[in-house]
A and B are shown apart, each in its own frame.
Chain A
């Protein structure tokens, strides 16, 4: 187990390094960010001065070297635009993203599990077919469209939920959180629903497929022959075994949602990291983009690692080496 940890750790460092190189190379093609910061009529001296202030007066290689050495000292660089540490910008906004992502995940699980079990247990029923068709719609719905429709129906027409923004927040352990007050929670609902629909549909389809697979197994037949109650067979024996592959998917989807809640956040003016990424790309703010993508890569590596560990804990047949 210890050797495995070391291996994963080295792997992670390698992945992060590759990401940082890729982003640096990519960003060096996207033009000189200095021109985004100075007025259009700036003279050459003013541009030079701005370049010096932003640390862009050196070659790309030197800039990258400087970035790496600073990184090893825990300094992730400063945003060109905000003139603040890039990591701090991301950490400031992370709680907002985590809030909608976790709520979306909970919503997706709570709905997807019973529906998936039902559709897997009775694949021939009309209800199951309707669910499958519906899930296809859920997967293919573009998030921005769904978000706009939800705003139009529930905010503009029915006035049930606020259309955008985060509402009142409370600070707990240094994090600003919305869900602690009812008013704040109301702001959470529409973005979380928008975010959850795609995940919900995919989870449901996976659970259904796994259930169908599991229900063909001998131990299910045996349980039924034993005369166990239907619900007991489905949820105790069936679902429990069907959940194993779900963990992998769940982990990846969690990473996916955190990393790419960009559209939902932009539509709902939700102050999370996704919106920060979109804005930073728009502004050519390289340090933030680099740190963001490294953070996301880190997240995926960690989630994958946890998934592997969880696998070993849940399914004794699997060993991590």
Chain B
């Protein structure tokens, strides 16, 4: 499957910067390198404006580029845009890279960027352009964006907007675009046989330089044990989501590497803070009292969940977002602020007048997050120690997200996962913790109906500046307030586990995307 014996090729630990891109030797190989990667599911569609789902996302970034690129560590670097500047609070000007070629040979022009924004506005993924009021081509290589309000992280949001070719895309039906992607990305589609394989080959005129791996095949293998078997039998070179059960045996095998890294998916518990809570049969909602909320955090043994339920494959969350994000406060840690302490938790419950506890229902999924049902059971038994009886309401994800949807009038206590690949806590705080119903586009997923004017004010300030440093400070302010108020308890980040043959360099990404351009085979 792979060509061996080219050990002295450049190995890349991290992604090459834009300037270095041209210098990467493509290597005069006698035989083209090939790689087969098994994913948990097939892409549903190859139109990047029509879906937001992991397998599809993985494909999109092979075929298309954005103006800005996200590194595996969630840093943001120039991609199709060479540079940009904020000219006033609402205006951003991006300079495009010259000579970028689409797969069909067309050169990338500013009009393509404008077309993409316009197309997205009418598409299923319109939320991606919510922060762009208008896009305008100043000349062939300069685009101007207007934001509806000052938005200091527009460039980070642009990393998710994949640029299409205007001339090509407007001549195609939506269905054709969904089947035959055509962008500036490092790979172009060879064939896609649904549910069987998706094959792509390196785009020779790619602006970063041709990819090192000539041919990449993705295979969807849903069953975890089958995926492991496919790796062991040599059918595939890399697998996504190695089953926790198989980690020890694959690790023990000399031919393979197991690669893990904390993902971005933070499992959080939303606590209801309304006067009366739907599933609590008491005149007043006990969780309105900060002491009860603190007691709940202290009664949850996150380390126990990690070792017992997650087999060690979880990273306890310090805050709502990881350290790479805007709004992260160094040194602030839920696990140190409110360490697991049953005696203290019981004392707090007593202080608040709920020594005899209460009963409520936990809503969560049974097929969406790693071990979600088991975590829910563990939480119920942990909280029973401070006399809180937790009834479990587990449901498949197809029902869950509609069920808990704000106004969440059936829920008191919700466990769900939240990831913010945008690298900015603001995206999360705006929707999850900002007061409901005060501003359009804010608080739409505030399931516990948390409302603190000080928190809202910090967010308002963050969203009123186009200075990233200031935004960071305001968001940190918000983080501190939320850590004090505990409207939501961060539990842990799931871990992504990959397995690969020894000769494959896998670069695990924080956003869980697999990008063959960053990989190599020796």
Contact = CB atoms under 8 A, between A and B. Distances in A.
A43 B440 contact: yes
B45 interface: yes
Interface string B442-454: 0011000000000
Contacts of B221: 164-165, 269
B229 A152 contact: yes
B90 to A, nearest CB: 20
A258 to B, nearest CB: 17
B397 interface: yes
Given A84-B178, A93-B194, A43 B441 contact: yes
A271 B196 contact: yes
Interface string B225-259: 11001101101000000000000000000000000
A36 B219 CA distance: 23
B219 A275 contact: no
B274 interface: no
A320 interface: no
A40 to B, nearest CB: 6
Contacts of A38: 124, 127
A31 B402 CA distance: 6
21 contacts: A31-B398, A36-B401, A40-B401, A40-B418, A41-B427, A41-B444, A41-B445, A43-B130, A83-B47, A83-B175, A83-B178, A96-B196, A151-B225, A156-B229, A165-B196, A266-B223, A267-B226, A271-B194, A271-B196, A275-B222, A283-B398
Interface residues of A, number: 54
Contacts of A272: 195
Contacts of B229: 151-152, 155-156, 163-164
B401 A35 contact: yes
Contacts of B416: 40
A49 B126 contact: yes
Given A36-B401, A284-B398, A83 B45 contact: yes
A41 B433 CA distance: 11
A140 interface: no
B168 interface: no
Contacts of B126: 46, 49
Contacts of B44: 81-82, 283
A169 B196 CA distance: 10
Contacts of A32: 402
B57 to A, nearest CB: 12
B397 A36 contact: yes
Interface residues of B, number: 53
A238 interface: no
Contacts of B427: 41
A269 B223 contact: yes
A43 B230 contact: no
B490 interface: no
Nearest to A54: B124
A237 interface: no
A165 B233 contact: no
A156 B233 contact: yes
A6 B205 CA distance: 63
A34 B405 CA distance: 12
A50 interface: yes
B41 interface: yes
B431 A41 contact: yes
Contact of B367 (A49, A267, A282): A282
Given A165-B235, A284-B398, A267 B223 contact: yes
A166 interface: yes
A57 interface: no
A151 B444 contact: no
Contacts of B127: 38-39, 41-43, 46
A164 B124 contact: no
B186 interface: no
A81 B174 CA distance: 13
A181 B352 CA distance: 74
| 10 tightest A-B CB contacts, nearest first | A271-B195, A284-B398, A35-B401, A31-B399, A41-B431, A163-B229, A31-B402, A269-B221, A32-B402, A271-B196
Interface string B185-227: 0000000011111000000000000000000000111110110
A37 B124 contact: yes
A169 B193 contact: yes
B52 interface: yes
